[in-house]
Copies of this chain bind each other. A is one copy, B any other.
């Protein structure tokens, strides 16, 4: 038997709970505050914002389950007939204090229309302010393990999808070292449906483990004001990606979504400098050189 949309929302609510508990434990000092909100057209959510963290400077873990008339924009874009929709998901962005800890993003979502159409989407990707290849390999290896349990070949497909999706076209650079991205997965059997749902939950559970790893590993590394200025510039690029190219953000802002929940992805601070060019051979220049598509991180060798 396939889980119902209400059951999926309940499962995702549990994923949010699990992630919040784990992140609170890993940070050791900060805590989440929750805003429950209603969507005038139907449904609502609970947005949880992390504050006073030792390691995490700004971040949020949002759950929502909304329903109502399918927005015109979706119908048009996907050439769908008018029908009511239901959408539920968990969405996260975390900005750490220390530039040696990466920015991370994760999202899992399920969409269903009352004419029988439904699909899963999601992903997890990492944006280090400083790319350390061995860390990038570790991240991709862990992500690949979860994908391999789901389906052979899934990692390669979703990894490429992330490279193409998390790309700052006007800078000709990737947002970070990528990860996985997938959308419109439409399992055709009950078994496949369960497998796809389980896959999304597995990503949700991978999230605090993998991020906890980077938090513990790097949060106490000392950093200079130069590294902090660089962090601000990288945060600026993060803002550029999210506001100019991210389909989810654009869609949310266009369709009268809850602005504060959508833009919880914004960093606490960001910076811009005209024509900033890192010194040749610097850690910053090396990072820029890694912000390319199609790097086979899992098999990277020093």
Task: Report whether B243 and A239 are in contact in the complex, using a CB–CB cutoff of 8 Å.
Answer: yes
Contact of A275 with B253 at beta-carbon distance under 8 Å, contacts A236-B266, A243-B239, A266-B236 already known: no
Task: Report whether B266 and A268 are in contact in the complex, using a CB–CB cutoff of 8 Å.
Answer: no
Task: Report whether A275 and B243 are in contact in the complex, using a CB–CB cutoff of 8 Å.
Answer: no
Task: Report whether B169 and A253 are in contact in the complex, using a CB–CB cutoff of 8 Å.
Answer: yes
Residue of B nearest to A275 (CB): B260
Question: Per-residue 0/1 for A235-267: is the Cβ within 8 Å of any B Cβ (1 yes, 0 no)?
Answer: 010011001100000100100000110111011
A43, B226: Cα distance in complex, Å: 37
Select which of B49, B266, B272 is within 8 A of A266 by beta carbon. Answer: B272
A264, B236: Cα distance in complex, Å: 13
| A202 proximal to B (CB < 8 A) | no
How far is the CB of A135 from the nearest CB of chain B, in Å? 26
| A232 proximal to B (CB < 8 A) | yes
| A7 proximal to B (CB < 8 A) | no
How far is the CB of A139 from the nearest CB of chain B, in Å? 26
Task: Report whether B269 and A273 are in contact in the complex, using a CB–CB cutoff of 8 Å.
Answer: no
Contact of A170 with B259 at beta-carbon distance under 8 Å, contacts A35-B275, A274-B60 already known: yes
A150, B49: Cα distance in complex, Å: 52
Q: Contacts of A301 on B, CB cut-off 8 Å? A: none
Q: Contacts of A253 on B, CB cut-off 8 Å? A: 169-170, 244
Q: Contacts of A83 on B, CB cut-off 8 Å? A: none
Interface, chain A (partner B; CB < 8 A): 35, 49, 58, 60, 169-171, 232, 236, 239-240, 243-244, 250, 253, 259-260, 262-264, 266-275
6 cross-chain pairs, A with B, having the tightest CB-CB distances, nearest first: A266-B272, A243-B243, A170-B253, A170-B259, A49-B274, A269-B271
